Amino acid sequence: MPLLQINSNVAKEKFTKEYILNFGNVLTKAMNKPIDFCVIHVLADQLMSFGGTFEPLAILTLSSIGHLGVEENKTYSNVIMTELEKLGISPTRVFINFNELQPSEVGFNKTTIADSK
Ligand X SMILES: O=C(O)c1cc2cc(O)c(O)cc2[nH]1
Mind telling me the catalytic residues? 2
Residue of 86, 90, 108, 75 lying closest to 20 (CA atoms): 86
Instruction: Give the range of 11-19, 58-66, 68-76, 88-96 binding ligand X by CB under 6 A.
Output: 58-66
62 binds ligand X (CB under 6 A): no
- Helix or strand run (H / E) with residue 114: helix 113-116
Residues 27-56 that bind ligand X (CB under 6 A): 37, 39
Cβ of residue 25: shortest distance to ligand X, in angstroms? 15
Write down the H helix ranges in 1-69. 17-31
1 binds ligand X (CB under 6 A): yes
Q: Which is nearer to ligand X, 2 or 56 (CB)?
A: 2
CB neighbours (10 Å) of residue 56?
20
- Asked if residue 25 lies in contact with residue 35, where contact means CB atoms within 8 angstroms, the answer is yes
**Minimal CB distance to ligand X: which residue?**
1
Q: Which is nearer to ligand X, 8 or 64 (CB)?
A: 64
